[in-house]
Amino acid sequence: MDYAMHALQILALVFVLVLGLAVIVLFTLYALDRTQTGDAIRRNYPVIGRFRRLFTTLGEFFRQYFFAMDREEMPFNRAQRDWVAHASDGSGNTIAFGSTRNLGVTGTPIFVNAAFPPLDDQFAATAPMQIGPTAAIPYSAKSIFNISGMSYGAISRPAVEALSRGAAKAGIWLNTGEGGLSPWHETGGCDLVFQIGTAKYGVRDAMGNLDDDALRRVSDNPHVRMFELKLAQGAKPGKGGILPGEKVTPEIAGIRGISAGQDSMSPNRHREIDDFDDLLDMIGHIRAVTGKPVGFKTVIGSSDAWKPFFELVQARGAECAPDFITVDGGEGGTGAAPMPLMDLVGMPLREALPRMVDLRDGHGLKERIRVIASGKLVNPSDVAWAICAGADFVTSARGFMFSLGCIQALKCNRNTCPTGVTTHNPRLQAGLVVEDKYLKVAHYARSVINEVEMIAHSVGVAEPRQMRRRHVRIVQGDGTSVPFNQIRPSVQPPLPR
């Protein structure tokens, strides 16, 4: 009897010790997770957040039997997101054994390697390109890959700050999005493209009209290098920006010139722009007031609709032309958009980009108007394809969101983003540590640029923009590939008269 009691006492003591040890371990893990800066999920959800990494690691095996394969998810598959994650860490992106990509999928680009490529010491480095030769202050853009428009409001303060600092470190530009210029855009001292949306946030008067004095104040900022007039975006052509009231903080309301806590709804188009004449007049006006390059962002529904625009530019003279055109594909993303517009309106970039390039080149404006490609371009192959198609620059928003730690939770419109990228909840924002994330932004940008240059080197050219449509083949429905220049021949500029 005494022996049994003694044994029970020992078991009870062991249980207490184990329980105490477990509590100490849990509190230690909690403290470590709360203070670490590398993983937003663990920082916001201590201890429990560790299971995500475990399940992610095990998921590589489980997915083969029960769940989607690496290249089957939408809108971005796991292979794409993993590439961005590795690139953002600054680690190598080499793989082993063989590609998991199905090269027989219709539309897959396959780059044409040169029989005798340049030697390794003849690397295809990107050259700066001037935008806005007729502007008082032209812009010499250093990078082919830059950050697309994401407004302060759609994304959080630490996200904007990390993008600004990362862009400065990588030598790329940052588009402010339509929400106006915030102090956080300026934190890093990077080059900025100020986007003027249909609501004209940041440059509007009390009635919502363009305010030239406000426009001059923005243009006086040395970091603002260009202005982009937003006509439409791929996720919601024909509808203006939507920022739910719960994301309109007093600071954001002050920057935009609206009321805090109320939905921020932009008009579906600029009220003072009814036709292409008005568009060119507005571009010329903004360029005259600011002295800086001015272009516009749009989505193509039909290339036929844009032929009169280029004919008008020719008739009025190249000096009245926009300095750049940003072509957004119908597959573009946003924080909040109606599903029908997100899914079914607007031409995909793979078709829209070469059409706009051909219109520009066919009217002899290749050296006057730069074309910027935007819309679901996050990996080097996407960027290289766009350059082959005729783009001068490529911008990405969601790629850089992934570099900030986005896990594609699809909660951008709810103010509950678990990684702090698109929320204004201070507790969730705490997971996005700027000191860590800005380096990831820079690593990602440099990785994309370096690997696009590597593709250019492989196809045998000295600079990425020397790649042409003949340098990429497109897989057809029967599994064979056809040179892109046979599918869509490049349009030659007209002969001088």
3-state percent breakdown (helix, strand, coil) of the chain, nearest 5: 40, 15, 45
Choose among 156, 213, 162, 158: nearest CA to 179: 156
Same domain membership, residue 133 and residue 51: no
Q: Which of 73-82, 89-98, 336-345, 398-407 has the lowest mean pLDDT?
A: 336-345
Q: Label the pairing between strands 191-196 and 173-175.
A: parallel
DSSP for 247-293 reads G--HHHHHHHTS-TTS-EE--SS-TT--SHHHHHHHHHHHHHHH-S-
Peptide bond between residue 354 and the one before it cis (omega within 30 degrees of 0) = no
pLDDT grade for 17, boundaries at 50, 70 and 90:
confident
Q: What whole-number distance in Å separates Cα of residue 456 and Cα of residue 466?
A: 8
> Is there a domain that residue 231 lies in?
yes
**Element (DSSP H or E) covering residue 55:** helix 50-62
> Is there a domain that residue 74 lies in?
no
pTM here is 0.83
User: Is pLDDT at 350 greater than 80 in this prediction?
Assistant: yes
Q: What whole-number distance in Å separates Cα of residue 492 and Cα of residue 322?
A: 21
Place of tokens 């009025």: 316
Place of tokens 């007039």: 229
Q: Which domain holds residue 137?
A: 129-487
Cα–chain-centroid distance for residue 2? Answer: 73
Output the average pLDDT for the chain.
87
Q: What whole-number distance in Å separates Cα of residue 287 and Cα of residue 481?
A: 44
Are 201 and 265 in contact, with CB atoms under 8 Å apart?
no
Instruction: Give the total number of structural domains in the chain.
Output: 2
> Is there a domain that residue 111 lies in?
no
Choose among 441, 470, 486, 490: nearest CA to 167: 441
Same domain membership, residue 421 and residue 343: yes
Q: What whole-number distance in Å separates Cα of residue 238 and Cα of residue 480?
A: 37
Same domain membership, residue 187 and residue 58: no
* CA dihedral angle for residue 233, residue 239, residue 241, residue 242, rounded to 10 degrees: -130
Helix or strand or coil: residue 221?
A: coil
> Is there a domain that residue 121 lies in?
no
Same domain membership, residue 287 and residue 151: yes
Same domain membership, residue 257 and residue 377: yes
Q: What whole-number distance in Å separates Cα of residue 58 and Cα of residue 336?
A: 32
Tell which of 67, 93, 111 closes a domain. 67
Q: What whole-number distance in Å separates Cα of residue 454 and Cα of residue 113?
A: 11
Note the pLDDT tens digit of each residue in 409-446.
777 777 888 888 988 888 998 888 999 999 999 999 99
Same domain membership, residue 404 and residue 299: yes
Q: What whole-number distance in Å separates Cα of residue 89 and Cα of residue 93?
A: 10
- For residue 142, how many other CB atoms are within 10 A of its CB? 16
Same domain membership, residue 254 and residue 163: yes
Place of tokens 């006006």: 285
**Element (DSSP H or E) covering residue 325:** strand 324-328
Tell which of 17, 50, 67 closes a domain. 67
Read off φ and ψ for residue 305, nearest 5 degrees. Answer: -65, -20
> Is there a domain that residue 293 lies in?
yes
Dihedral sign computed on CA atoms, order 189, 190, 193, 197: negative
* DSSP 8-state symbol, 224: E
Token pair in block for residue 34 = 């709360």
Same domain membership, residue 348 and residue 271: yes
Place of tokens 């980009």: 353
User: In this prediction, what percent of the chain has a pLDDT beyond 90?
Assistant: 54
* CATH number of domain containing 366: 3.20.20.70
| pLDDT at residue 410, rounded to an integer | 73
> Is there a domain that residue 271 lies in?
yes
Helix or strand or coil: residue 238?
A: coil
Q: What whole-number distance in Å separates Cα of residue 394 and Cα of residue 373?
A: 5
Token pair in block for residue 255 = 């920057």
Note the pLDDT tens digit of each residue in 120-130.
877 788 999 99
| pLDDT at residue 347, rounded to an integer | 85
Token pair in block for residue 442 = 């820079």
Tell which of 67, 85, 104 closes a domain. 67
Same domain membership, residue 166 and residue 36: no
User: Is pLDDT at 70 greater than 80 in this prediction?
Assistant: no
Choose among 396, 301, 306, 302: nearest CA to 341: 301
Choose among 134, 147, 141, 219: nearest CA to 188: 147
| pLDDT at residue 99, rounded to an integer | 66
Environment class of residue 395 by beta-carbon count within 10 Å: exposed (0-12), middle (13-18) or buried (19+)? buried
Same domain membership, residue 370 and residue 246: yes
Place of tokens 């100490």: 24
Residue 356 makes CB contacts below 8 A (sequence gap 6+) with 300, 303, 306, 325, 327, 371
Same domain membership, residue 177 and residue 52: no
Cα–chain-centroid distance for residue 264? Answer: 22
Are 483 and 476 in contact, with CB atoms under 8 Å apart?
no
Token pair in block for residue 309 = 């625009």
**Element (DSSP H or E) covering residue 165:** helix 157-170
Instruction: Considering only residues 22 and 224, tell me which one the structure prediction assigns the higher pLDDT.
Output: 224
Note the pLDDT tens digit of each residue in 71-115.
556 666 667 777 777 777 777 666 655 666 777 788 899 999 999
Q: Label the pairing between strands 139-141 and 145-147.
A: unpaired
Same domain membership, residue 320 and residue 181: yes
> Is there a domain that residue 148 lies in?
yes
> Is there a domain that residue 119 lies in?
no
Cα–chain-centroid distance for residue 61? Answer: 30
Note the pLDDT tens digit of each residue in 440-497.
999 999 999 999 999 999 999 999 999 999 999 999 999 999 999 999 998 876 655 4
Note the pLDDT tens digit of each residue in 23-54.
888 788 788 888 888 888 888 888 887 777 77
Instruction: Considering only residues 359 and 329, tell me which one the structure prediction assigns the higher pLDDT.
Output: 359
